[in-house]
Structure 1
Amino acid sequence: MDLNSLPKNASSLKFNKHNQHVMSLCLTYMVNLELSLQKTCQALKDIHGIPISHQQVATYCKTASLCIKPFVDNYDYKSGNTFTADETYIKIRGVKTYIWFIMDAVKRSIIGYQVSDNRGVGPCILAMRMAFRNLKELPKNFKFIADGYSAYPLAAQHFFHEFGKKFKFEITQVIELSNDDAVSKQFRPYKQMIERLNRTYKASYRKTNGFDNIDGANHDLSLWVAYYNFLRPHQHNNYKVLNEGEMLSHSDTMPGKWQLLIFLGQQTILNMQNGEAANCS
């Protein structure tokens, strides 16, 4: 249940055959344009004249994910007072696996996410902890909107027992697909918001035809969340990105922005290491 563990089993960023530009091109084709590994290899060869194997592309994406994830997870999204959550499923070697999303309903940023092999309360708690990590207490008039699944109220009880009144909140449950009660009618738009997010992610997931292992699913999800929160233009935000980092604006090309995200991730890892060293001393 540790949110602050540093990346393990990361590959080196020392390039023997290619360079960081080729790596960022792979990320652009794979994540932004939703191409498969094989189609990314074909695009690099046909468009840029770069011969590369699909295994090398996969290695680049894994390494980038491990670097970028700490920055995305620790970024202060300055969330509002309304969160909405839902879970969807993917396949890992043909077995159903679950993706948990928590979204800030005002800025639309993904502030909590988790891949799990079960639909229990544990992964739900971990996704909530990620969403609450920059909060010392809940904002006034806080709302947490989800469906009728029992894991959400149980997770809310866990936060109250662990942190007391500062994190006491009720789950506003939107039941089924029809507005049979006043609560569902009032908060249905928030539920539809998170369901649209699920569909957007599933569209990018389809190119994979499922994952070989849960680590692959985690790496893919981390890169997609980074793209969604920092690089993807959104119609409801006048086709601007949700979170405009000052450093990311220094590049006009998407491969350049991916390189800057990797740099920001490396800086976050260094800060985490220095913080842990200070605590140990």
Structure 2
Amino acid sequence: MVKIISFLIKFLNIFNKLSFQFECFLMNFLPNDPSSIVNSVPYKRFNVDLVPVIKPESMPISLEKAIEEYKAKHNGKEPKPINRRIAIDFPKSTKCPHCGASHEYIFDNRSGKISKQLRCKICGTTFSPDKTYSQEIAHYCPYCGHKLTAVHDRSGYTVYKCQNPTCSLYKSNLKKLSKQQKKEYKINPSKFTLHYITRIFDGSIKQLENFTKTVRASKVELRNIRANRHTLGLILTYCINYGLSLRKTALILREVHDIKISHQTVANYAEAVSHLIEPWLDNYQYDCLSKDHCGDETYVKVKGKHAYVFFMCDSVSKIITSFNIFMKRDTFSAIQTFYAVIRKFKAIPEGFNIVVDGNPIYKAAQQYFQLNGINFDIHQVIGLKNQDETSKKHRPAKQIIERLNRTFQFSYYVKNGFSTVDKANEFMYLFTTYFNFLRNHKSLGYNPPIELNRFKDEVNMPKKWNMIIDMAYDYDIEQDMQF
């Protein structure tokens, strides 16, 4: 009976395979349904135009310069505070957005009850107390000089567009369209980008610097732990270098080294080391960075949701220069990633370039830095095949960052996600320290990207980790002494 049942099961499996092959054979003779064909419309490539023009008279000046200009107009007389007959009805904290003069030099320039215009006595600027200076200044098209119009208010930036029909850029782009494209443009103008478009961002470089200075305090003080320094080095070696889970690390310490320690204590020690080396790694002075960098983003899970690791790596020395995790893959994340790389240079090298994928947020981030006077080139490698000369030329750099993603995923796989973004970034500091200072690279002659003098004659990995901890302690003491 058993043989009969097994024979029937084999027969049914063979019959299913034959029926599937016969079905596929019949599908070749069916007529194609045009409605079932999916036409994928290619994305428009994001291009960065010239930066907008801001009129010189709209730019802010110092109060001293404004007073000098006032004296020149009034035969050397000093500006005196306004002698008011009626009490002011605007806040005393109001200042001139152009020269910074206090409320004592600002008078009411309102012609009626509806208008809310004020005027500065020193520089003569008229402004509204209900608007910020960024709303007061005007941006102009660099091609035709026409005033730009705000068309979209996005999160973190505003999109401005030149709507002048006689703009030279608009005319040039319109001539490049074919007859069919011109018909499509009349039907669906949003499909084409013919006018000059720019983005004005809300954040400043100073805000980015403040973002990088946030250092979180650790719950565990490494000086007071019960385990010795060798055990601490073993924990970091197994967890970070070999990519083992917390429980496997605790199991190896107990069964191989006869050290009884819980997996939670392993996690606490790793967290404490991460908090200690965070300011040291962020401010480490790299002397061997090249002008060629590459970047990409990969995925991790935070509370079961996708988060994004933005990696930036030196294409020559293989040094990771940016590695933060964000919950959103947006322009502000790309801006912070680029800034983490830029701040590691004393001066941006000539011909500095970054190779990334086709995500438009990188081009938008490039435009942000252009508006702040920081210029570099972006090369986008799109797809798996070389469709253009840029992809063909810069494909090797893109492969470098993809190999970095693969190495990271090997270490991240056992983590099974993180509970918070801070926990995820703690792991990133440990992984980056290992990758930059401890991991041997075949392309570098089986040497780490950064060869420290302390490691010259040292092979033992736990000792190397303890040397890095000592360097982080020394940096922390130096910072405390600078007061």
Q: TM-score range by the shorter chain?
A: over 0.9
Query: How far apart, CA to CA, are the structure 2 residues paired with 1:229 and 1:215?
Result: 21
From the superposition, tell whether residues 75 and 270 of structure 1 become closer, same or farther in structure 2 (CA, over 3 Å).
same
For 1:45-84, list aligned pairs within 5 A. Answer: 45-78=254-287, 79-84=289-294
The count of residues paired between Structure 1 and Structure 2 equals 273
SS of residue in 2 equivalent to 1:257: helix
CA contact (8 A) 2:291 2:352 kept: yes
Query: How far apart, CA to CA, are the structure 2 residues paired with 1:80 and 1:170?
Result: 14
How far did 1:247 drift? 2.2
Query: How far apart, CA to CA, are the structure 1 residues paired with 2:273 and 2:440?
Result: 21
RMSD: 1.5
Pair 1:191 & 2:401 matched: no
Deviations 1:120-150 (A, max 9, x none): 1222222211111132432122211111111
How far did 1:24 drift? 1.3
For 1:175-254, list aligned pairs within 5 A. Answer: 175-249=382-456, 251-254=458-461
Query: How far apart, CA to CA, are the structure 2 residues paired with 1:136 and 1:75?
Result: 12
TM-score by length of 1: 0.92
Deviations 1:193-220 (A, max 9, x none): 1011011101110011111221221111
Determine the structure 1 residue equivalent to 2:128.
none
**RCO comparison, higher one (Cα < 8 Å, 6+):** 1
Query: How far apart, CA to CA, are the structure 2 residues paired with 1:269 and 1:36?
Result: 29
CA contact (8 A) 1:148 1:175 kept: yes
Query: How far apart, CA to CA, are the structure 2 residues paired with 1:161 and 1:97?
Result: 29
Give unpaired runs (5+ residues) of structure 2. Answer: 1-207
Deviations 1:220-259 (A, max 9, x none): 1110000000001111111111101112336431111111
Query: How far apart, CA to CA, are the structure 2 residues paired with 1:181 and 1:254?
Result: 45
Give unpaired runs (5+ residues) of structure 1. Answer: none
Query: How far apart, CA to CA, are the structure 2 residues paired with 1:108 and 1:231?
Result: 13
SS of residue in 1 equivalent to 2:220: coil
How far did 1:16 drift? 4.6
Deviations 1:83-117 (A, max 9, x none): 10100111112100000000111101101111111
SS of residue in 1 equivalent to 2:323: strand
Determine the structure 2 residue equivalent to 1:90.
300
CA contact (8 A) 2:215 2:278 kept: no
Give the one of 15, 27, 31 matched to 2:240.
Answer: 31
CA contact (8 A) 1:81 1:139 kept: yes
SS of residue in 1 equivalent to 2:427: helix
CA contact (8 A) 1:145 1:174 kept: yes
Query: How far apart, CA to CA, are the structure 2 residues paired with 1:128 and 1:21?
Result: 37
CA contact (8 A) 2:218 2:271 kept: no
Pair 1:169 & 2:369 matched: no
Pair 1:11 & 2:220 matched: yes
Query: How far apart, CA to CA, are the structure 2 residues paired with 1:253 and 1:143?
Result: 37
Structure number, greater radius of gyration:
2
Q: Which amino acid aligns with 2:474?
A: Q
Query: How far apart, CA to CA, are the structure 2 residues paired with 1:271 and 1:173?
Result: 41
State the 4+ residue runs in structure 1 displaced beyond 4 angstroms: none
Determine the structure 2 residue equivalent to 1:122.
332
SS of residue in 2 equivalent to 1:97: strand
Q: Which moved more, 1:248-257 or 1:77-86?
A: 248-257
Deviations 1:171-209 (A, max 9, x none): 111111111111111111111110110111011100111
Q: Which moved more, 1:247-256 or 1:257-266?
A: 247-256
Q: Which amino acid aligns with 1:170?
A: D
SS of residue in 2 equivalent to 1:48: coil
Q: Which amino acid aligns with 1:74?
A: N
Query: How far apart, CA to CA, are the structure 2 residues paired with 1:238 and 1:245?
Result: 16
CA contact (8 A) 2:276 2:473 kept: yes
Query: How far apart, CA to CA, are the structure 2 residues paired with 1:183 and 1:158?
Result: 23
Query: How far apart, CA to CA, are the structure 2 residues paired with 1:245 and 1:226?
Result: 12
Determine the structure 2 residue equivalent to 1:22.
231
Query: How far apart, CA to CA, are the structure 1 residues paired with 2:291 and 2:356?
Result: 14
TM-score by length of 2: 0.55
